[in-house]
Amino acid sequence: MFRFFENLVDPYAEYPRTDTPPKRLFPFLMQYTRPFRGVFMIATVTSILTASVEIGLIYGMGWVVDILDGDPAQVWDTHGATLIFLALFLLILRPLLNVFDVALINQTILPNLGTLVRYRAHGHVLRQSVGWFENDFAGRIANRIMQTPPATGEVAFQVFDAVTFSLAYVIGAMVLLGDMDPLLMVPLGVWMLLYAGLIRWTIRHVAPASKASSDARSQINGRVVDAYTNIQSVKMFDHHDREMDYAQEAIEHGRVTFQREMRLYTTMDLVLNVLNALLIVGVVGMALALWLNSATSAGAVAAATALVLRLNAMTGWIMWATTSLFRELGIVQEGMETIAQPIDLTDAAGAKPLQLTQGRVEIGALSHHYGRGAGGLDSLDLSIAPGQKVGLVGRSGAGKSTLVKLLLRFYDPESGTVRIDGQDITQVTQASLRANIGMVQQESSLLHRSVRDNLLYGRPDATEAQMIAAARQAQAHDFILDLTDPQGRRGYDAHVGERGVKLSGGQRQRVTLARVILKDAPILILDEATSALDSEVEAAIQDTLYGMMEGKTVIAIAHRLSTIARMDRILVIDQGHIVEDGSHDALLAQGGLYASFWARQSGGFLDLDEEAAE
């Protein structure tokens, strides 16, 4: 039975992806809940039927009280069959209806709706550009991805478990009292108006207060995760107290916003108790007055009393359910600030895969200043022949990394073009572009998975032998075999920790080198590829590096100039422009900026402090 309900909706089914999700709440919810429309309709019907049965039971109780006013034997002879039917209904049909209603909510909607929202939201966020992620806390993004799905599920739960049921119940109560005597509808009607006013007041204030609390929680999460992610810096600079103060500021803001939200609930509860007292006194008092004047039966008084006592018990639940509904909607709205952001860097309409035939790179009038009007690149022109090895040198901030990011299309340039084999990279698919480019970064960050998973990230279909061969080329195989993690996994199965923290900088760099060797892309970018290696290891893999460059177009950024001295060309970039272009020997003979860098080196590193002083 459980499996039937659990499989009514597939949360991983294919769906049309959009680059521009709805920005308003209800269109957003409608888009995500589209696979559940049929289930929602059935849940609405069963919720209404369940409420109708509850009203019917109260009516039946009043009827039983009325038929008891007579000879017991005659009562049984006249009404025995009806009483047996009522008993069977209560024992069989009512539980079946209730379990069907509950199973739709608990087995079909709640697990699958939250899963669907989380899966699709994560997929949407993963499609965002690198620049998009650089503008926010990873912790805050993750927090919104994690808290929005359960909030969406809670919204659905409250709609069908509380709102639909309670509306059907209140309408049924009005009909039942009207059937007994229209006068009984008056106090209930007055109460309904006052109760609706209280709900409206609560909703108007709870939704923004809930969103403020959710924002505050995300801020706390972002600051805490930021500290944990950079725990080495915290410890190295001994800033425990500073981080506590930084976190306390956000935690206190969260406490204050939560206090404001709770004040609303306390006020609501006080007013609700007064309204419920008016409901009981009004309806029961009116029923007693009618009975005293022989205008209604004792069964009607009993039914009216049971009805208002049931409503009295339900009103708090309804109010909490309604406010919970809007509180969760506030959380969804806060999550939408991340999930509903349009994809800021997309494939062009009709984009085709990159057809890489030679590996020629041509850059024309390329400018990008990150929207600041300064820094980055400024009308840069460059042509790299197929198979040519080019080194990039320049001070920090000169534009080297910007050039690489634009080549990988992590950003779109503000002006100018990048072409590979004559194809504008903004007109080809991003996946095909990056599939043809291998990159080793200065910041050799690894996934918190096994060494094997990290290596196969470069080429998932590689064989075990190919993976090990790549690790050997990068001088990584021997130390990998010696790895053990806290769970006892060894060698290539050992996990490397978040961002690879369980490995040394040199070990991480060699794993990332092996990953790129395994990928074997025709265009290779090396961004300080040997910066974390000691001289002995660097010397050991220097031939490997040059070996993996064979037949590839290579762009290598380096401060350690010895690593690029053998390149075909060396480009010196300064303030977004190429100011020198030539071989190592030619640039030394030129006596310009490159020659001054080379002269100042100690162990092959640029003297950045001296440059900055200039």
Question: Which residue has tokens 């041509």?
Answer: 362
Tokens of 484: 């053990």
CATH annotation of 439-520: 3.40.50.300
Residue 610: the pLDDT is: 42
Tokens of 273: 């108790």
Find all residues with CB under 8 Å of 378, minimum gap 6, and list them: 367, 369, 399, 575, 576, 577
**Rounded distance between C-alpha atoms, residue 163 and residue 170, angstroms:** 11
pTM of the entire structure? 0.75
Q: In which residue ranges of the chain is CATH 1.20.1560.10 found? A: 18-339
Residue 193: other Cβ atoms inside 10 A: 10
Tokens of 132: 């998009």
Of the candidates 520, 354, 350, the one whose C-alpha atom is nearest the C-alpha of residue 432 is: 354
Q: Which residues of 307-344 are buried (b: 16+ CB within 10 A; e: fewer)?
A: bbbbbbebbeebbbbbbbbbbbbbbbbbbbbbbbbebe
Q: In which residue ranges of the chain is CATH 3.40.50.300 found? A: 439-520
Fold of 18-339: ABC transporter transmembrane region fold (1.20.1560)
**What are the beta bridge partners of residue 424?**
419
**What are the beta bridge partners of residue 165?**
none
Q: Which residues of the chain have pLDDT under 70?
A: 70, 373-374, 443, 529-541, 543, 601-614
- Radius of gyration for the chain, computed over Cα atoms and rounded to the nearest angstrom: 35
Residue 613: the pLDDT is: 38
Of the candidates 34, 260, 21, the one whose C-alpha atom is nearest the C-alpha of residue 121 is: 21
